[in-house]
Amino acid sequence: MQDPLLRLPEVIPSVAAWNQPLPDSGRIEHRHVMPDRSDSSRLSGTVAHGGHSAPLSRDAMAPLTMSDADPKLSPMQFLAELRSEVEQETGVLSADGGVKTADEMELDSSAPNEAEAHEEVPEADVAEDPGLTDEEHASEASPDSDSESAHERNDNGLMRRGPTKLPEAVKAGSQLSELFDRVHNLLGGQEEGSNAAFSPQAPETIEQTRLSSEEVERLVLKYLLSKGSLTGRQICAQICLPFQIVDPILRELKQEQVVTFKGTAAMGDYEFAITDFGRERARRYSEECTYFGSAPVSLQDYLKAMEIQSIAKQEATEEDLKLAFEDLIISQQMLGRLGPAVNSGRGMFLFGEPGNGKTSIAERVTKAFGSTIWIPRALGIDGDIIRLFDPGVHEVIEHASGDGLFDLSGVDARWVQIVRPTVVAGGELTMQELEVIQNQQTKICEAPLQLKSNCGTLVIDDFGRQTMPVDVLLNRWIVPLEKRYDFLNLPSGKKIQVPFDQLIIFSTNLEPKDLVDDAFLRRVPYKIKVPDPTDEEFRELCELMSPLMGFEYNREAVDYLIETHYRSVNRPFRACQPRDLLLQVRNYCTYKRLQKKMTPDAFDFAVENYFSVL
């Protein structure tokens, strides 16, 4: 038997009928239909019914008055009533004489199995229940169950059916299925109370950005001044704001004759060109600040994000630490001392002889947390633009970009996802790098190192060898190390409070007590000495570095090196020496055009050069 639902397009005269009131008779041939100019049969006063065109009476063609109109039905209710009328006309009745529901009818006698023959029809009221899960959508109601128990009736007497299945067309295509899931998440598909990681949500209104229209206008005009003409979506991609926020501002600028339409673009967009009047305004904006990158994030939103992603809330286990240091040869005793210091999230001294891997250890500490964070590309504070994201120190997590016009990720493009940062500053560190710096030509501010390293690790390498006195650095950080917050002075004269939320590591070749006083040592709770490698660890380092330098490991040559040039002269081992000596041997073989091979003669040459003044 033909599926009655397949005849709905024949019965429905026009989509416009959804908003028309139903007459008292309830018969479809007397339903008042708005004429559709695309259908000549409707213009001549006919209505399609049962595959035939029947003329409408003059009374049916007359518009309804306010007194004649019944309460309007929703489109879904209208479709449900049409379904009921079609079933009555086809004579498909249930056992009790009523109209059978779609679940009780055999929609396709040629179905390969009973489950497909009784597949549910999408419910009219399903749009009213957006909280259904994917599992509920995939479930099917039993065809043998009682219709009243399987479905519930709403206040209007219409049947509320159970959850529908995911469409087969969606299941068939992976891209369509992915799109379906992303839209489902955007519409609230995620479970409430889930412990999901922080993710900045894309703003839907300009109020949610905490920006004013004038601030967005400045970015738009300065960008247009630089490029000449751009489409609306190209401007949105540059300033990282959604199209629905920027488009009204562009149209307002068009009304003010600041910009003009140069042409049309896809999806209701236009190509905008800046006018002479707009150029003058943009130049004035550029004199104040030349920045026209991503729209800035407010300080309030930044503080909230840093609190959620704080490194003090992270925990690193023994397995995490072993994984972070898997490419280094490090003793279990050393790992046992590092573990609690890393979990403290505060600070530590790493001291010991040069060349034993203090910097290598400090650079790998952050990997123990194994997570990523979101940071703003720029901060906007009372008119000052502070550039926070730095490609030189931040490692970006790349995401697959969409191939369409719309970004369905739901993430605020003003933020960027990065690996927890590890910022290293050596002997070149100056006091200026610890404060907000404003470029006098561009008027753009650069964030200090401690702000860039928030929720990560800040390594002060070669501590005590900076150009500025140690006391100056200690006095600058003595309060932030204890209070976990810092104060920054802005070019406008305003002072702001920001988090000082990083694991700070002071790496030095000197004794900490010779560098700082007891007050500072108290605020850095962990002092860890990096010892010299043992005889066994030195051999392991040689074996590890040999293939990296292009050699086949030769145990006899290494034994000769240790006995002749270390034990006999009482020379201490250093972790860097196997790499440095093998590099000397490789250069010696290359110069002599010899086969790359670890030999006693080659080690004699390398030691003579390497330890000549040591």
- pLDDT at residue 411, as a whole number: 92
Q: Cβ–Cβ contacts within 10 Å for residue 148, how many?
A: 10
Rg of the Cα atoms in the chain: 36
Percent above pLDDT 70 for the chain: 66
Among candidate residues 536, 534, 535, 508, the one with its CA nearest the CA of residue 520: 508
pLDDT in tens, 563-597: 999 999 999 999 999 999 999 999 999 998 988 89
d(CA 512, CA 524): 10
* pLDDT range class, residue 555, cuts 50, 70, 90: very high
* Domains in the chain with CATH codes: 4-160 (no CATH), 207-295 (1.10.10.10), 303-530 (3.40.50.300), 535-610 (no CATH)
Please, are residues 165 and 120 in contact by the beta-carbon 8 Å criterion?
yes
Cα–Cα distances (Å) from 263 to 224, 271, 404, 480, in that order, read: 15, 5, 21, 55
- pLDDT at residue 105, as a whole number: 43
Tell me the average pLDDT across 336-345.
87
pLDDT in tens, 467-492: 888 888 888 888 898 889 999 999 98
User: How far is it between the farthest Cα atoms of the chain?
Assistant: 119
Within 13 Å and on the Cβ side, how many CA atoms surround 421?
Answer: 31
Contacts for 159 with CB less than 8 Å, ≥ 6 apart: 80, 101, 123, 124, 147, 151, 152, 153
Helix pair angle (577-592, 535-548), 10° resolution: 40
- pLDDT at residue 265, as a whole number: 87
- pLDDT at residue 317, as a whole number: 87
* pLDDT range class, residue 378, cuts 50, 70, 90: very high
Strand-pair partners of 387: 378, 446
* pLDDT range class, residue 18, cuts 50, 70, 90: very low
pLDDT in tens, 220-246: 999 999 999 999 999 999 999 999 999
- pLDDT at residue 4, as a whole number: 45
Please, are residues 222 and 285 in contact by the beta-carbon 8 Å criterion?
yes
Among the residue ranges 110-119, 258-267, 368-377, the one predicted with the least confidence is 110-119
Does the structure show a pLDDT above 70 at 100?
Answer: no
Helices in 155-231 by DSSP H: which ranges?
Answer: 168-172, 174-184, 213-227
Name the 3-class secondary structure at 262: strand
Decide: pTM greater than 0.85: no
pLDDT in tens, 165-178: 444 444 445 555 55
* pLDDT range class, residue 364, cuts 50, 70, 90: confident
pLDDT in tens, 420-441: 999 999 888 999 999 999 999 9
Does the structure show a pLDDT above 70 at 133?
Answer: no
* pLDDT range class, residue 362, cuts 50, 70, 90: confident
Does the structure show a pLDDT above 80 at 542?
Answer: yes
| Structure token digits, residue 235 | 């401007």
Residues in the chain, overall count: 614
* pLDDT range class, residue 552, cuts 50, 70, 90: very high
Contacts for 91 with CB less than 8 Å, ≥ 6 apart: none
